[in-house]
Amino acid sequence: MILRREKLTVGLVTALVLMLGNSLLLQAQPKFPEPPSSTVTWIGKDVVWNGIPMQVRKFTTSRSRQKIRDFYKKVWKRPVEKGKPGFIEDIIPDAWLISRLEDGYLMTVQIKKSGLETWGYLGLTNLDEMNDDPKQANRFPKMSGSEIMNEVKHNDPYRKATTVMLANNYSVSSNVEFYRSHYRGAGWNVVMDQSGSGGSTHTFIMKKHGSEVSLTVVRTNLGSQIVANIVE
């Protein structure tokens, strides 16, 4: 979910909030139905995805995307408030989104297709827990003009982990020199600094005072993609 150019944007949340207005009083967590004839597994019960705190489950099924979409359109047909829609739909690259806001919780289904299998994510957000704290991605070192594509936080009781994905128009070698210089200059111990696939990828592992950053730079048609996992 974090290695593609996809975003579950705050704009989607905002659109629902504006449409439903006074129905946002927080109540008991609503029932979030699972897709029929599917296998559902937990990704995380305390995840922050692009600044949005949520519980995330993954589902897989042999049913078509259209049947999964129709299922949620049927079960969420009832409006939460008179004169307001029961759900809204959106499209992101390679996926369909259908969302419902109920009792102060946002339920979002991301529906994808791979071969004969339909799969995706079920995200549940308590809107009362959303805040305006700066994202880790905004503080992560990056070359000028880099675009933050995704950020996912995993709130473990003992350690905090954040995965950040960036993209820019620079070469792999330019990004490598930037990150090598940055981390070495900041006193990090570089325990891996290795190229692969003929120079089209490069991997770093850096450690400092119990924190660790694993970083991979990959060449793309438009420049480079950087995926970093930060463990504190």
CA atoms of 127 and 54, how far apart (whole Å): 9
Whats the size of the chain, residue-wise? 232
The per-residue pLDDT for 155 is 65
88 pLDDT higher than 60: yes
CA distance 189 to 207: 5
DSSP H or E stretch at residue 73: helix 65-75
Q: Looking at the predicted structure, is the pLDDT value of residue 47 above 90?
A: no
The burial of 76, by beta-carbon neighbours within 10 Å (0-12 exposed, 13-18 middle, 19 or more buried), is given as: buried
Cα 156 to Cα 46, 92, 97, 153, 209: the distances in Å are 8, 29, 28, 9, 19
pLDDT digits over 207-220, tens only? 999 899 999 999 98
pLDDT confidence of residue 157: 60
In CATH terms, 10-129 corresponds, of 3.30.60, 3.30.310, 1.10.357, 3.40.50, to: 3.30.310
CA pair distance 34, 216, nearest whole angstrom: 34
The count of C-alpha atoms lying within 13 angstroms of the C-alpha of 52, restricted to the half-sphere facing its C-beta, is 23
Every domain of the chain with CATH number 3.30.310 lies at 10-129
Of the CA atoms within 13 Å of residue 218, those in its CB half-sphere come to 12
pLDDT in tens, 135-189: 556 788 999 999 888 777 776 666 678 888 889 999 999 999 999 999 999 999 9
Lowest-confidence range among 1-5, 115-119, 194-198, 226-230?
1-5
Write out the two tokens for 220: 């793309």
Over 60: is that where the pLDDT of 18 sits? no
Rounded to an integer, the average pLDDT of 54-72 is 94
Contacts of 36 (CB under 8 A, 6+ apart): 61, 63, 71
Which letter does DSSP use for residue 8 in this model?
Answer: -
How much is the pTM?
A: 0.56
Q: How many CA atoms lie within 13 A of 168 on its CB side?
A: 18
CB 223 within 8 A of CB 167: yes
The pLDDT of residue 130 = 61
